[in-house]
Chain A
Amino acid sequence: MTSGTLWTVVLIAAVGCYLLKLVGLSVPAAWVQRPWVTRVVEFVPAALQAALVAVQAATSGPALVVDGRLAGLAVAALALALRAPFIVVLVLAGATGALVHVLAG
């Protein structure tokens, strides 16, 4: 992706996200507060963010791969379950990734 295309993507997405905010402040509440709409909106983050986690941790292009990222993710999940602070979670995941990288040569 060229820098120009990247800029276009950045700007379109930014303006789009801003308009979504503005619409909320501007339209009658009844347009948005329908049971199905709020239901879907409530669960979109879980579906999309979990998909992103999976893609970031276990894929490379079209291939499914297992490497230090997945090990780091497992450690991060454990740390989160133990209620570790955000920074600790990141440091542990990063250290795990680096360790696997060194061990795997």
Chain B
Amino acid sequence: MREGTDRLASLAGVSDARTATLRDAVGLGLAVGLYGVAFGAAADAAGLDVWQALVLSALMFTGASQFALVGVLGAGGSGLAAIGSALLLGTRNTVYGVRLAPLLAPRGVFRRVGAAHWVIDETTAMAVAAPGRELGRLAFWATGATIYLGWNLTTVLGALGASGLGGTAQAALDAVVPAAFLALLWPRLRRGFPEAPVQRRVALGGAVVALLLTPVVPAGVQVIAAVLAVALAGRPRPGAGEVPSRPGDAAAPRTRSASAGEEDS
């Protein structure tokens, strides 16, 4: 740690820190790219064409909501249920935006409108974990740019790759899609995530609610209704409103900067 502080103190150290931030951003972009392939494939399996998958990645640009949208559509759900579940998962980004606002302090309407598009799990994790405001901003923009590029590119790859499948390969893809969803959820359930046991209880509750309701409600509604399982989390802890929730998308915790952030939260 002391070595790190000394390094930061020197001018050369500042450029080192910038390089490290950029390297982490690119590394994270590459890791997230794999999820883009999975999303493209899931979108194709749900009946979306390549363009629709790409527009989701380019315009919506928030993985969990995108997966939820195609997940509900793939299960035969209505458009309303699909939109609802995407929006419910999108509320996370509102909380991230509140945390990032003082750090990014976007001046003017254009910057704010631009910055908002890249407020996601990974950019928040990297920006908050970076030492200092300058590096925080750099981490936000660099992570945003690499992930945006990688995510859109790999979405197209996944969608095109999946659209040529048939028979046994289709059965393989059918099994890959729920596995990808599980991998997305997994970091929240793992030891070390804040209140992991409570997260597990809520997740189990959500799955049970969805399965119980499946035979009796229109497709897709059971996914929205699963939000009731949040009640299993119980009341907020004292002061919880000020404690920022740690972003928990699958790829983020594996990088160096993000794990540095885990130590101080």
Residues of A that sit less than 8 Å from B by CB: 1, 3, 5-18, 20-27, 29, 32-59, 61-64, 68-69, 71-73, 75-77, 80, 86-87, 89-90, 92-98, 100-102
Q: How far is the CA of A99 from the CA of B32 in the complex (A)?
A: 28
* Cβ-defined contact, A47 with B90, below 8 A: no
Total of A-B residue pairs, C-beta within 8 Å: 330
B88: chain A residues at CB < 8 Å are 44, 48
Interface residues of B in 105-121 (CB under 8 A from A): 106, 112-113, 115-117, 119-120
Q: Which residue of A lies closest to B193 (CB)?
A: A46
- 29 A/B residue pairs, CB under 8 Å, sorted by A: A10-B55, A13-B83, A18-B59, A18-B117, A24-B95, A27-B98, A33-B95, A33-B242, A41-B92, A46-B202, A47-B202, A48-B68, A51-B222, A54-B210, A55-B71, A55-B214, A55-B222, A62-B219, A68-B175, A73-B179, A75-B179, A80-B186, A86-B38, A86-B183, A89-B182, A90-B179, A90-B183, A93-B179, A97-B175
Q: Chain B interface: which size bin?
A: 35 or more
**SS of A interface (majority):** helix
* Cβ-defined contact, B112 with A45, below 8 A: no
Q: Is B169 an interface residue (CB 8 A)?
A: yes
Q: How far is the CA of A101 from the CA of B208 in the complex (A)?
A: 26
Q: Which residue of A lies closest to B240 (CB)?
A: A35
Q: How far is the CA of A57 from the CA of B178 in the complex (A)?
A: 6
* Cβ-defined contact, B87 with A62, below 8 A: no
Residues of B that sit less than 8 Å from A by CB: 31, 34-35, 38, 47-49, 52, 55-56, 59-62, 64-65, 67-69, 71-76, 79, 82-83, 85-98, 100-101, 104, 106, 112-113, 115-117, 119-120, 168-169, 171-186, 188-189, 194, 198-200, 202-211, 214-216, 219, 222-223, 226-230, 233, 235-236, 239-243, 245, 248, 250-251
Q: Which residue of B lies closest to A76 (CB)?
A: B179
